[in-house]
Amino acid sequence: MAHDREVLRMIWEGQIGICFQADSDEIVGINPEPFYLMVSRLSYLPLVTDKVRKYFTRYIAAEHQEGAAWFDYNGTPLRLHYPIGVLYDLLHPEEDSTPWCITIHFSKFPEDTLVKLNTKELLESHYLSCLKEADVLKHRGLVISAMQKKDHNQLWLGLINDKFDQFWAVNRRLMEPYSDQESFKNIPVRFYFDDDFTYMQKLITPLSESGQKKNLADLMVELSTPVRKAVGFRTHGIDLHEETNLQWMSEHLSYPDNFLHLFVDYKSA
């Protein structure tokens, strides 16, 4: 992986411009100007909530100021446990280069729709559970289970504090085939097909039955059905070439949760 370190760095440094607006029903007095932030594609909305809350607090009715924060885009509540880059690619038009405008709310939390991750501790717990699931797929859980608590802490702190070297000093161990293996057992991947926030997971092996390394063209065949054909993939806002190797992708294009989050383009068969 060393020769592709620049790819890891480029993915790490990917950012999105977001325009945060307050819920007009919660405002008291003067309507505030929007709050603009450049945020990491790899981060999560609960990790930027404190900054946004601090800006809007003086404009919000007192009874709402300490409420559990949540966000929506055009009326659609945003999943707090999805990476921001995944939310953006799901909902923001590709051709629109303006900041992504979303609304923050401090009341009426939609508990029937969203998982309430209103503390960093809850988000950290979710993140670690994703890491463990990914490692079970890749290494039967042998790598993550051999790590110490301080290693888990270093991963989390590297992510939330935007420390590339701190994060990758540990994460590289999760991104290497185990022992004498040439590849992962399976590729941790979540497939998205539209903007309804549902994703599909299925066992995807990096090697064919004959032992050949699989690429995205092979994955297109696996995901195609008699009625629709997979014709393209996108992640981190990037359209991927069909010859891209699956093992390489998993090592270099996964989010910090160690999953590939792939958006699949289909056409009728």
Domain definitions of the chain by residue range: 14-105, 121-268
Two tokens, residue 202: 């299925």
The type of residue at 49 is T
Residue among 20, 158, 16, 159 at smallest CA distance from 87? 16
Q: What is the CATH number of domain 14-105?
A: 3.10.20.620
Do 14-105 and 121-268 agree at the fold level?
yes
CA 56 to chain centre: 26
Class of the CATH domain delimited by 121-268: alpha beta
For the entire predicted model, the pTM comes to 0.95
Question: Tokens 């609304």 map to which residue?
Answer: 103
Q: What pairing do the DSSP bridges indicate for beta strands 100-105 and 15-22?
A: parallel
Under the banding of pLDDT at 50, 70 and 90, the label for residue 14 is very high
Min mean pLDDT across 31-35, 115-119, 250-254 is at 115-119
Cα separations in angstroms, 165 against 8, 12, 41, 154, 160: 11, 11, 17, 10, 13
8 Å CB contact between 252 and 4: yes
Report CA dihedral (153, 155, 161, 163) to the nearest 10 degrees: 130
Cα 89 from Cα 234, distance rounded (Å) = 9
Cα 168 from Cα 171, distance rounded (Å) = 5
Cα 100 from Cα 92, distance rounded (Å) = 7
pLDDT digits (tens, 9 = 90+) for 171-214: 999 999 988 889 999 999 999 987 678 899 999 999 999 999 99
pLDDT digits (tens, 9 = 90+) for 129-142: 999 999 999 999 99
CA 230 to chain centre: 22
8 Å CB contact between 168 and 212: no
46-80 as b/e, with b when 16 or more CB fall inside 10 Å? bbbbeebbebbeebbeeebeebbbbbbbeebbbbb
pLDDT digits (tens, 9 = 90+) for 53-99: 999 999 999 999 889 999 999 999 999 999 999 999 999 877 788 89
- Catalogue the E-assigned strands of 161-259: 189-192, 199-200, 228-235, 238-239
Helices (H) and strands (E) in the chain, counts: 9, 10
